[in-house]
Amino acid sequence: IADMPHVAVLPGPSSWYKDYPIAEGARQSPINIAPEEAVYDHGLPPISLHYDNCTSTNISNNGHSVVVEFDDVDDRSVIQGGPLENAYRLKQFHFHWGGKGCHGSEHTVAGKTYTSELHLVHWNAAKYSSFAEAAVAPDGLAVLGVFLEVRDERGGLNKITDSLYMVKFKGTVTDFRDFNPNCLLPSSLKYWTYPGSLTTPPLYESVTWIVLTEPICVSEKQMGKFRTLLFNSEEEEQRTRMENNFRPPQPLKGRTVRASFK
C-alpha cells in the first residue's frame, strides 16, 4: 500500500450526485439548447444591462475557474428585463473552457459546443439581502451566458488574459480595477432563457439562465493563456493545467426553453 501512486483523481461531474443529490434534480444546468424546440415568447421584453458604473475589484483563481469580482453593495451594475421581475446585481463573472479544440462550453446549441462560455452571475438584491441568501432561492440568481468561439482576437479580453499569470495557482487573487464587461458582449442581445441551476457544486436550483445566441470571437492564443492556469495551489506538488472545467449538458426534464426572437 505504501507505494500506491499519488494519482489525484479529480472528482468529476459524474460523481457530484454523491455529495450533492440535487445533481439529479429537475432543473439542473447546463442543457443542450434545441433552437427548433425553443418557444418564441412575444411577451418577453429585451434584457437590459447597466454595467457602465460597475466596479470590478479583483481577479482570482478559485481552483475551478478564473473569477472577476464586483462591488455589489448597491445597484450600480445590474441586469433587468427579459424574464426577470427585478433588477439583479452583478457579483462576478468567470469562464469555462476545454483543452485544445472547440469543446469547452457548458450549454450546447443543437449539440454544437463552443470553445468557451462566459458566465456573468447576478443576484436578486430586491428580494434577498445577500448573494448567499439569494443563491438558495428559486428566483435568487440570474446568469448571463456568452459563448466564445475561436476566430479573431477579442481586444477586450486582453486585460484579462494578460493578468492570468498573476493568478496561476488556486487560491491566488490580485487587484483588478476598472474592468467593464460590456467589452465582452456580442452585438445582439437575442437570448434563450430557462429555469436552471449552478453548474458547479453546490448546484443550487436558483438560476434563471439567459444565454445569448451570438458568440464573441477570441483567438487561440488568448484561449491558450486560460490553459496556463492550474487547478492546484502553489503548495501542492501536483501541477494540473486548468482545462475542461465544464459540466456536460443535463436532462431537460420537461422544461421549456423560451426564445426572445422568432
Ligand X SMILES: NS(=O)(=O)/N=C1/NCCO1
Which residue numbers are catalytic? 64
Stretch that binds Zn ion, among 27-35, 112-120, 147-155, 218-226 (CB under 5 A): 112-120
Nearest distance from C-beta of residue 30 to Zn ion, angstroms: 9
Residue at grid coordinates 477586450: 156
Nearest distance from C-beta of residue 209 to Zn ion, angstroms: 10
Instruction: Check binding of 225 to Zn ion (CB under 5 A).
Output: no
- Provide the CB-side half-sphere exposure for 145 (13 A, CA): 29
Instruction: Check binding of 199 to ligand X (CB under 6 A).
Output: yes
Instruction: Check binding of 61 to ligand X (CB under 6 A).
Output: no
Among 80, 116, 161, 200, binds ligand X (CB under 6 A): 200
Instruction: Check binding of 121 to ligand X (CB under 6 A).
Output: yes
Q: Work out the angle at residue 107's Cα, subtended by the Cα atoms of residues 194 and 77, and round it to the nearest 5 degrees.
A: 65
What is the sign, positive or negative, of the torsion defined by CA atoms of 148, 154, 156, 161?
positive
Nearest distance from C-beta of residue 197 to ligand X, angstroms: 7
Stretch that binds Zn ion, among 24-32, 54-62, 117-125, 187-195 (CB under 5 A): 117-125
Task: Report the alpha-carbon distance of residue 248 to residue 111 in Å, rounded.
Answer: 11
* DSSP per position, 160-203: HHTTGGGG-STT-EEE--S--GGGG--S---EEEEEE--SSTT-
User: Which partner, Zn ion, ligand X, none, binds residue 121 by CB below 5 to 8 Å per kind?
Assistant: ligand X
**What type of residue is 55?**
T
Instruction: Check binding of 119 to Zn ion (CB under 5 A).
Output: yes
Nearest distance from C-beta of residue 199 to Zn ion, angstroms: 5
Buried b (16+ CB within 10 A) or exposed e, 44-76: beebebebeebbbbebbbeeebbbbbbebeebb
Among 33, 87, 146, 198, binds ligand X (CB under 6 A): 198
* Contact residues for Zn ion, defined by CB under 5 A: 119
* Contact residues for ligand X, defined by CB under 6 A: 119, 121, 143, 198-200
